Amino acid sequence: MARKLSTLFFSMAQRMARDQQRVLRRATRTAAAVSGRTLARTVKNTTDPLIRKAFKTGLTAVTTPPSVAKRRAAAAAPIPGAGTWQAHIFRGSTSIGQWHGRLAYHLYIPSSAPAKGPHGMPLVVMLHGCQQTAADFARGTRMNRLADKEGFVIAWPQQSANAQSQRCWRWFRPQHGHGGSEADAIASLARSLVAKLRLDADRVYVAGLSAGAGMAALVALRHPDVFAAVGLHSGAVMGDAYDASAGMAAMRRGSRRDVLEQARSLLSTAVPFAGMPAMIVHGGRDHVVDVRNARQLFEQFRDLNGIDAMQPPVVAALAAGTDRAWQREDLRAGRRTMVRLAYVPALGHAWSGGDSDVKFHDAAGPNAGLLFWRFFEANTRVGDSTLV
């Protein structure tokens, strides 16, 4: 039953995503088909096999929508970045629920790392969305290039298609043995990399897109002793879903319950929680995860960080009149920004400022990778979840 609900959930989410470009695709296919029929009539009676072969090849090219062709080319393109991109398998010592001790991931060591290794560098864990691989996410976000410039290591975990057929992290089933175990595996990977590479344990961050954002939130709340801040792009409200159908409902309209209590229910009882700085990015034209989710996430992290419910955010409009226009809302504790919402009015369900040739990424809008990194570098973890 759970598998059927999961399949329904993600097939409907996929259809909603396609709606954003349906009109453009239909026009492209129609024009291409007409061109193909005209060409077919021209060579209909030829007996030359070379001409027929050339026609067949040309027709295929004509009837392939440009957006599809670009995405196929992008998927085969090299991973951006001048550093080292390596594929690995992280193996746990025991089986935990439905996570059987194996987590595929790519590791990116920036070109700016010293020859002796990336000792002392920060670590950013990047979690892809549904229908993506770690490589897709790296191509679309181009975070590796930012890592080269800013000097941090990136881990790119990849969900198994055996665990979820669309490679979605199971944020919508946060129970131990499902999404909870995936979150624990990701945190274990981060701990392992910090120890192995001698990275800065006080500067470890996690960010994700869509389902990856849902998982990033779960990881951060379960393991505040590992992560110093979290970045959520196009993610759903926390704690509203405990199965696939409820997850789909939350994506469509947010939560209709007490969102503050829902978020608190995800906290680990084994680890002290003293707060978690969070940055939220969401598009105003997102028809997959409704923007109401972003506002509810904002209020959830307000509560988790102990900020008074009556404290108004500091609001600023940036890049007005351009295709990168966005609005920033900050909740501060003293001089520190603890919660930030970046609302991008013209953005759909896509990574802002990414590579448009890669599905679920949009070149328009502010560079989300840079926004997250600037927020991350202002937050450092010290001791048990004490932030400075």
The values of phi and psi at residue 66, to 5°, are -55, -35
DSSP tag of 268: -
Give per-residue pLDDT as tens, 224-282.
999 999 999 999 999 998 899 999 999 999 999 999 999 999 998 888 999 999 999 99
Under DSSP, is residue 205 helix (H, G, I), strand (E, B) or coil?
strand
The values of phi and psi at residue 113, to 5°, are -70, 140
What is the band of 33 on the pLDDT scale with cuts at 50, 70, 90? very low
Q: Which domains are delineated in the chain?
A: 2-75 (no CATH), 81-387 (3.40.50.1820)
pLDDT at position 71 is 61
Two structure tokens written together for 155: 């881990």
Give per-residue pLDDT as tens, 127-167.
999 999 999 999 999 999 999 999 999 999 999 999 889 99
The residues that bridge with 18 in the sheet, in sequence order, are none
pLDDT at position 24 is 40
CA distances from 18 to 26, 216, 286 (A): 11, 25, 11
